[in-house]
Structure formats: C-alpha cells, structure tokens
Amino acid sequence: MTGQASPGEGEPLIRLTDVTRSYVMGGVANTVLSGVTLDIAAGEFAAIMGPSGSGKSTLLHILGLLDRPTSGSYRLRGQETGTLSDDALSHLRNQAIGFVFQSFYLIPYATALDNVLLPGLYSDAPRAALVRRAGELLDKVGLSAQARHKPSQLSGGQQQRVALARSLINDPDLILADEPTGQLDSGTSREIMELLAAINRDAGKTVIVVTHDPDTAAYARRQILVTDGRVARS
C-alpha cells in the first residue's frame, strides 16, 4: 500500500502530551480526560484497562482520530494531528489505523470478501490488488471458504475474524480493538486474541486493545490503567 510514512527518528508511533477532553452537556462542562501523557512505540501490544466511565473509550476515540482533544498534543507517526483538516484526518485514519469493534460493524448485505475490501476502496490501490489481498487476509484468519458468505451466515467468532481481516486491508501501522471479545464465548475469545497476538508478533503491527477483562488484557505485553480520566499506570 502507498501513502504511509514512518515515525520520526527516535519518536514513538503514538505520543500524547497533556491531552484533555471535555464535553458540555446541559450547559455543564464534563472533563473525561485530564492531562493524559503517554507514549506507545511501534510494534507494541498494549491493553488499556479501566472501570466504566474512566475515560478509556474516549482515549481510544482520540487515538483512532475519531475525536479531537480539547487541549494538548497528539502526534501519530511523527505528525501533529491537531493541525490537520477533517479531510486530512480521515485520510490518515484510513491509511494508518485499522479498527476492530465489539459489535463487528459488518455490512449485512455484503459478503465477507466485500466487507474486508471496504476500507481499501478509499485508497489509491488498484481494485484487483485489493481483491487479491482481501482473499489472502481471509485465508490468514481461516475464512477462505466463507469469502462469499454474508454476515448472517457466519458465527460471531467468524464475523470478528472478518473484522480483523478488514482492519488489515490497508496495511496500517496501528490496530485499535475496542472490547473485541465482548460478544464472544471464552473459547472464541481466546482464538481472537491469539490472532491479534499473531498480527502483532508476525506482521509487526502495533496493537492496542481496550478491555475490562483481565484475561483479554493478559495477551498484551503492556497494561495501561486509566482511572478518573488519567493514566494511573502505564
């Protein structure tokens, strides 16, 4: 894939400096993140943990360029994201980040292959190359025989495997997984986490998992605890 840049020499893939995020609801300001400073190096496998309402999901949204900090700095691949236009942010998000969500978010009327293809259609890669790569990714997650199946024909674990393949179609630097095992049984959860560990180990992708589950977090080599909008342990 084209259009990717590398982190600046000596700079981590992710650098948050004194990041805050506040919302105004009913005329009252509510601070969700308060002075978060955090570095994550390329190739890390980290788990962000914390109780409900701690700010971990807001932190994930900022890391994924789905939200902007109220103040502070977020540098991704050496680039200050706060100065980027919405279009530039969308382009960077599409090329640098792959997402895996608890609810899969597959298009119900599209095949597994077409679901994997979708993020690639916003890149400049030739369609034939994308189709070939999508097939290879489905094979890697053990679903080559289900390439023409719709999500309704797949189990929950298979749907999450499709989502994992989709997250890799643009060869991103960073995979963000938000409670990726939240709707799966324990056996299937282990399979999904082992796939994420393999993506980190074998493909060198930086993987960040947001979870409340200690068993899921145990797959990561680094646990980051968020409480009351602050990083309590990193």
**Using an 8 Å Cβ cutoff, are 171 and 3 in contact?**
no
Which of 146, 117, 151 has its CA nearest to residue 131?
A: 117
Give the Cα separation of 176 and 210 in Å (integer).
Answer: 8
Cα(134)–Cα(33) distance, rounded to whole angstroms?
Answer: 37
At the fourth CATH level, the homologous superfamily of domain 43-70+80-233 is P-loop containing nucleotide triphosphate hydrolases (3.40.50.300)
Token duo for residue 172: 């991103």
Cβ contact 112:120 at 8 Å? no
DSSP state of 170: T
pTM: 0.91
**What pLDDT, on a 0 to 100 scale, did the predictor assign at position 179?**
93
Burial classification of residue 70, based on how many CB atoms lie within 10 Å of its CB (0-12 exposed, 13-18 middle, 19 or more buried): middle
pLDDT of residue 9: 59
How far, CA to CA in Å, does 114 sit from each of 142, 162, 216? 16, 10, 29
* pLDDT tens-digit profile, the chain (234 residues): 433 445 555 789 999 999 999 988 787 888 999 999 999 999 999 999 998 889 999 999 999 999 999 999 999 999 999 999 999 999 999 999 999 999 999 999 999 999 999 999 888 888 899 999 999 999 999 999 999 999 999 999 999 999 999 999 999 999 999 999 999 999 999 999 999 999 999 999 999 999 989 999 999 999 999 999 999 988
Contact 113, 127 (CB under 8 A): no
Token look-up 């796939």 returns 195
